Amino acid sequence: MAGAITSVCEGRLAMLIENPTLELETIAQAFLAISQAACYRGVAEAFLKAALEYSRAVRGAVILSAGSELLGNIDTSFLRETAKIFVSYPQQIEFRLPEAIEERVLICQEVVITHNGRINSALADPGGCPCGQDRIQLYLPVVHREQTIGVLYLESESRQKAFTSKCISALSMLALQAALSFKSAQLLDALRETSMWMIRGQTIGRIGSYRWNTRTQLTRASRQCYRIFNIDPDLNPVPFEVFKSRVHPDDFPGLERVLVQAASAKAPLNHEYRVVHEDGTILTVVAVGQFDLGPSGDLELEGIITDVTERKTAEQALVDARADLARAARLASLGELAGAIVHEVKQPMTGIIASASACLRWLAREPADVDEARKSVARIIQSACRANKVVSGLRSLVRDGQLQFARLGVEEVIEGVLLLLKRELERASIKLKTNFDKSIPYIEGDQLQLQQVVLNLVRNAIDAMCIVTEGDRALTISSKFVGGQAIVTIADTGAGIDPASKKHLFEALYTTKPEGLGLGLSICRKIIAAHGGRLWLESTTTFGTVFAFALPLHQSTNISEII
């Protein structure tokens, strides 16, 4: 580029002197060229070119330093390799700032003109210069905010016409512009770097930042946001409808509610929801933000979105592992319990068989030994009683008797259970619908036991739906207040209960599940009965099953037995 710098010089120079308008135009163009340069080198080159053109100098150089410390450390020999930005004409030449001049230019920021001939030229002259002896050199500091950030050096042959005061003031102006452009290039660079860091940070952290205008319903968002929501990056800003289309339909109502609440209270937002991509990928994200008035005066939500899917998956795996462990432990302890029970029952059975056959033998004797036979029968009775006791003990093990009544809300009982089962429902892709009658007064009941009932019924519903692979899975829990009773219905879209199982449904130890104990529904029914209510199978078809239970508001007595 520098090669082209002075190719136009000779012709234009003559014109410049005669035509002040053209001169102004040249300066204006030089300003434009310098200000348009986007990089450090571009600035230096444009500056040098303009300076050479304007001053009819034959050789020149520009040194610019990004950091003031470089110039501060300038040695007498200032080789082009060590300068941050160095351009020269002709190219590939060494520059040496004379010691005597250095302080005046760099520190006092003076414009220095020397008439030292070619010997004192600041530019090394390896190839030999064709020019004559009468040389004149110009050193012009490039200053930005009182700081020397560079030097313009020009060499001219013509003693008479070179470096007039008008020329120097024009060059000083160009230098000012060069300094400004250089600094803005630096600023741009810093900005670009910061932005790169931010993007990289957001990519690594799976975090996107956004700003949503509640009036225009438009959102500006970082690249990572587009990636998280799977939105075309060219769509800028993003309309709310597009954003909404990416939110999991089940999660949108909740998100909307939270947004409205946070907007009206100008409260911080912190909400977790799921995002669905067009290809069906589901991500879990956490949106954090704050509502405030934006520059336009509109209410805006600014914040970040974090993709927590991986964390969620890990958490889920942990929860699953814990549940498996708990299940295994429960089964193991049940197995142990069963072993102990079996042993406890087998003992008296052994006794009964032995004594009974002994009895027969006593009686078969000639004559019959009635006395011994009677003793044998007594032992049989004793053993049978003992076996009965073991079985009774088992029953009390299953549920220890007493209920503790307190005033409680039916809805709270159910919500408490749903909280526990939220993950199970999510994992089974079951949509939950609740329809609570807010007019139900408080009832008297044992919270733990009632939750046990709801838990059991909902678990059964989940199990029933997990078998079905077709169609939507929906769990609907409703409550209503009828005839002084709170009635709760739990409806699933499972495969229904087959007629053969229906009549055994509430029998203890009857189960259709491979791992079931067959205690669930029978215990449920007993708990509800102990509350003075009833539990029944409302309906069952191949499209789903509905269980219902009714509870009275008040308990006639404070303590009652379940079994």
Partner 1 sequence: MLSSIFVHIVDDDKSVCESLGDLLRSVNYQVALYRSAAEFLDIGRGQPDAPSCLVTDIRLPGTSGLELQERLTHLKIMLPVILMTGHGDISMSVKGMKAGAVDFLTKPFRDQDLLDAVAAAIRVDQARRQEAAKIGELQERFSRLTRREREVIAFVTSGFMNKEIASKLSISEVTVKMHRRGATQKLGVSSVAKLARMVEILDIQRLRAEF
Total Cβ atoms within 10 A of residue 364: 10
Indicate the residue among 90 and 351 with the shorter CB distance to partner 1: 351
Binders of partner 1 in range 258-297 (CB under 8 A): none
Residue 389 interacts with partner 1 (CB under 8 A): yes or no: no
Give the footprint of partner 1 on residues 345-364 (CB under 8 A). Answer: 346-359, 361-362
User: Which residue do the tokens 């060494």 mark?
Assistant: 94
Nearer to partner 1 (CB atom), residue 348 or residue 496 = 348
Instruction: Give 27 or 359: the residue with its C-beta nearer to partner 1.
Output: 359
**Is 343 a binder of partner 1 (CB under 8 A)?**
yes
Answer yes or no whether residue 375 interacts with partner 1 by CB under 8 A.
yes
What does the DSSP assignment read for 105-147? Answer: IIIS---EEE--TGGG-SB--TT---S-S--EEEEEEEEETTE
Residue 84: which residues within 8 A CB-CB, separation 6 or more?
40, 64, 65, 66, 67, 70
The distance of closest approach from Cβ of residue 537 to partner 1 in the complex, given in angstroms and rounded to an integer, is 39
Burial class (CB in 10 A: 0-12, 13-18, 19+), 461: buried
Residue type, 299: L
Of 125, 250, 302, 372, the residue at the interface with partner 1 (CB under 8 A) is 372
Could you tell me the smallest distance in angstroms from the CB atom of residue 517 to partner 1?
21
Ordered alpha helix ranges (H), 468-542: 499-502, 520-530
Among 190, 325, 342, 391, binds partner 1 (CB under 8 A): 342
Binding of residue 386 to partner 1 (CB under 8 A): yes
Q: Judged by CB under 8 A, how many residues of this single chain contact partner 1?
A: 26
Supply the minimum distance, in Å, between the C-beta of residue 342 and partner 1: 7
* By the rule CB under 8 A, 374 interacts with partner 1: no
Which residues pair with residue 287 across a beta bridge? 271, 305
CB contact at 8 A, 304 and 289: yes
Residues ≥6 apart with Cβ < 8 Å to 366: none
Provide the minimum distance between the beta carbon of 390 and partner 1 in the complex, in angstroms, as a whole number: 12
CB of 550 to partner 1, least distance (A): 45
Within positions 219 to 238, which residues make up the interface with partner 1, using CB under 8 A?
Answer: none
Closer Cβ to partner 1, 362 or 549, answer by number: 362
Is 82 a binding residue for partner 1 by CB under 8 A? The answer is: no
CB 431 within 8 A of CB 462: no
388 is an interface residue for partner 1 by CB under 8 A: no
- Closer to partner 1 by Cβ: residue 278 or 366: 366
- What string of DSSP letters covers 383-435? HHHHHHHHHHHHHHHH---B---EEE-HHHHHHHHHHHHHHHHHHTTEEEEEE
What does the alpha-carbon distance between residue 380 and residue 326 come to, in Å, rounded to a whole number? 41
Q: What residues are paired with 288 via a beta bridge?
A: 270, 304
Q: Can you name the residues that pair with 561 across neighbouring β-strands?
A: 402
State yes or no: residue 334 binds partner 1 (CB under 8 A).
no
Applying CB under 8 A, does 383 fall inside the site for partner 1? yes
Q: Candidates 79-87, 340-348, 405-413, 502-510: pick the segment binding partner 1 (CB under 8 A).
A: 340-348
CB 369 to partner 1: min, Å:
8
Site map 518..557 versus partner 1, x via CB under 8 A:
----------------------------------------
Q: Minimal distance in Å, beta carbon 395 to partner 1?
A: 21
What tokens were used for 492? 């699933």
Minimum CB separation of residue 516 from partner 1 in Å reads 24
What single-letter amino acid sits at 541?
A: T
Nearest distance from C-beta of residue 552 to partner 1, angstroms? 47
Conformational region of residue 217, where left means phi above 0, alpha means psi within -120 to 50, and beta covers everything else: left
Report the nearest approach of partner 1 to the CB of residue 392 (Å).
Answer: 18
Is residue 379 within the footprint of partner 1 (CB under 8 A)?
Answer: yes
Q: Is 480 in the site for partner 1 (CB under 8 A)?
A: no
Q: Among residues 358 and 428, whose Cβ is nearest to partner 1?
A: 358
- Contact between 158 and partner 1 by CB under 8 A: the answer reads no
Using alpha carbons, select from 83, 71, 82, 88 the residue that is nearest to residue 141: 71
Q: Minimum distance from CB of 519 to partner 1 (Å)?
A: 24
In the complex, the smallest distance separating the C-beta of residue 388 from partner 1, rounded to whole angstroms, is: 14
Question: Which residue's CB is nearer to partner 1, number 161 or number 361?
Answer: 361
The contacts of residue 171 (CB under 8 Å, 6+ apart) are: 51, 54, 55, 138, 140, 152, 154
**Nearest of 156, 154, 158 to residue 142 by alpha carbon:** 154
To the nearest 10°, report the CA torsion of 333, 337, 339, 341: -170
Q: Determine the Cα–Cα distance for residues 222 and 203; give it in Å rounded to an integer.
A: 10
Residue 544 vs residues 450, 454, 498: alpha-carbon distances, Å: 23, 17, 11
What residues between 447 and 466 interact with partner 1 by CB under 8 A?
none
Does 337 bind partner 1 (CB under 8 A)? Our answer is no
Provide, rounded to whole angstroms, the least separation between the CB of residue 380 and partner 1.
8
Q: What's the token pair of residue 216?
A: 């225009």
Q: How far is the CB of 353 from partner 1 (least distance, A)?
A: 5
What is the rounded distance in angstroms from the CA atom of residue 293 to the CA atom of residue 407? 46
3-class secondary-structure state, position 533 = coil
Do the beta carbons of residue 400 and residue 392 sit within 8 Å? no
- Taking the least distance from each CB to partner 1, the nearer of 350 and 501 is 350
Least distance to partner 1, CB of residue 367, Å: 12
Q: Of these, 73, 270, 382, 539, which contacts partner 1 (CB under 8 A)?
A: 382
Does 339 bind partner 1 (CB under 8 A)? Our answer is yes
| Residue 416 neighbours by CB distance under 10 Å | 17
Residue with smaller CB distance to partner 1, 271 or 386: 386
376 binds partner 1 (CB under 8 A): yes
If one asks whether residue 153 binds partner 1 (CB under 8 A), the answer comes out as: no
Residues that bind partner 1 (CB under 8 A): 339, 342-343, 346-359, 361-362, 372, 375-376, 379, 382-383, 386
